[in-house]
């Protein structure tokens, strides 16, 4: 895909499909449904709040150091407030980060 895996993860959560959920071709391109103006990718923690504000979202981001311990790395300050809420779980590997949705 590209460096915008965070935007794709948000897009997948917003437009969750019942079939073929892992195929990005079943979803609209994130740039058609999300305001990514003035946002550069790959996403960093200090840019998530701006992204939330531009898209009326609240996002929590979690990761894990092993299979038994999950911890937050970003918790939204917007606490929903009528916004669509998305929880993303990021799996870190040696080669790349993967984002999973809840």
Task: Report pLDDT digits (tens) over 35-63.
Answer: 999 999 888 999 999 999 999 999 999 98
Stretch 58-72: mean pLDDT, rounded?
88
pTM of the model: 0.80
Q: From CA 87, how far away is CA 58, in angstroms rounded?
A: 9
Q: Is 46 exposed, middle or buried (0-12, 13-18, 19+ CB in 10 A)?
A: exposed
Q: From CA 38, how far away is CA 45, in angstroms rounded?
A: 15
Residue 27 to residues 14, 30, 33, 67, 72, Cα–Cα distance (Å):
10, 8, 10, 30, 27
The residue that leads in pLDDT, 3 or 97, is: 3
Q: From CA 69, how far away is CA 54, in angstroms rounded?
A: 32
């Amino acid at each position: 895909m590209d460096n915008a895996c965070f935007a794709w993860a948000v897009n997948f959560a917003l437009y969750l499909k019942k079939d073929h959920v892992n195929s990005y071709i079943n979803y609209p391109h994130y740039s058609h449904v999300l305001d990514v103006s003035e946002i550069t990718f790959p996403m960093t923690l200090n840019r998530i709040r701006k992204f939330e504000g531009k898209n009326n979202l609240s996002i929590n981001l979690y990761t894990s150091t092993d299979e038994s311990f999950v911890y937050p790395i970003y918790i939204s300050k917007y606490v929903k407030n009528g916004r669509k809420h998305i929880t993303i779980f990021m799996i870190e590997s040696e080669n790349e980060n993967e984002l999973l949705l809840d």
